[in-house]
Amino acid sequence: MACFPPDVTFVTTKSGAPSLCERNFAASPCLKGISSDRIIVQEGFSSAALAYNDAIDRAQTDLIVFAHQDVYFPDTWLGDLDRSLKILDSLDPDWGVLGGWGTGRGGFEAGFLYSVGLGLLGKPFERPVAVDTLDEFILVLRKSSGLRFDPALPHFHFYGMDICMSARKNKKRCYAISALSVHNTSYGHLSPEFFSCYWPVKRKWREFLPVKTSCVTVSFWNTDLIVLRFKLICFALLARDLIRPRLEDPRSALEFMAGAPDQGAEGQYHRALAGSTAGHKR
């Protein structure tokens, strides 16, 4: 029997250098053969929430994948997603949000991706893993779930935490899935907007604190935020070479992984220095 990939709409927001989206998201092998009405590229929006809610309204499919423009989807990605969806049909058909990397209390992490500066994170696994929050470099939800992004949230940070907390409030669980992708991010730098976006989600989800995200734990005392800001200042003053620019070609990450299966040492080193795992940047 023939196996057909799920009918899905891919959504990204495009900004900055025009080549960034073209070299990564738009160049993804998994998008080849997908009709143009199944790919939505958003430009000119002041926040991810506004861009993504507009895409939800425009999408012609129930299943929607939201991704950063610097994410590269290998040709295996849709098959990996389909496998996870079939498992969830039995495990938890009312799931809320899926993603490529998730976190939970006590430092728990799950997922499978290559992130520039961090190397290979995680390893293949069979069943989707329940998590508290998902990194927004990839988020998957169903239009029929009724979940939407909060239009009051500014800029392009913490909307992953927010949509996961909204799912939790609606008694829907979130899962990390085993679907390898490359996040061709510029590692080692966070914009000022990241820190300003922290406060709205802290106020909104105060009753659930602390809430761990892939970058920082949102808490009453803001300990992680203070430590993260201090580390970034130290990196800027003492270790500028730790900042890792994006790859010219994200395919090189997959080629590197294929040629060096134990390459995770660099990623482990930088993870130890940064004190976090997948602090992805839009």
- pLDDT value, residue 239: 57
Residue 215, both tokens: 């970058």
Over residues 154-183, the pLDDT tens digits come to 999 999 999 999 999 999 999 999 999 999
Task: Measure the CA–CA gap between 185 and 70, rounded to whole angstroms.
Answer: 6
Query: Sign of dihedral through CA atoms 15, 113, 253, 31?
Result: negative
Query: Sign of dihedral through CA atoms 264, 269, 270, 275?
Result: positive
What CATH superfamily is the domain 1-282? Spore Coat Polysaccharide Biosynthesis Protein SpsA; Chain A (3.90.550.10)
Over residues 21-48, the pLDDT tens digits come to 999 999 999 999 899 999 999 999 999 9
Over residues 226-274, the pLDDT tens digits come to 998 888 777 767 655 556 788 989 999 888 777 654 444 334 333 333 3
Q: What is the DSSP letter of 132?
A: S
- pLDDT value, residue 256: 75
Given a cut of 70, whether residue 117 has pLDDT beyond it is yes
The neighbour count for residue 210, using CB atoms within 10 Å, is 14
Place 49 in a pLDDT band, splitting at 50, 70 and 90: very high
Give the distance from CA 216 to its chain's centroid. Answer: 14
Q: What is the DSSP letter of 220?
A: S
- Give me the percent of the chain exceeding a pLDDT of 90: 72
pTM of the model: 0.89
Helix axes 159-169, 48-58, angle to 10 degrees: 60
- pLDDT value, residue 188: 64
- pLDDT value, residue 282: 38
Place 66 in a pLDDT band, splitting at 50, 70 and 90: very high
The neighbour count for residue 86, using CB atoms within 10 Å, is 11
Where do the domains of the chain lie?
1-282
Task: Measure the CA–CA gap between 194 and 198, rounded to whole angstroms.
Answer: 7
CB < 8 Å & 24+ apart, contacts of 122-127? 122/178, 124/178, 124/180, 125/178, 126/87, 126/178, 127/87, 127/91
Helix axes 192-204, 223-238, angle to 10 degrees: 170
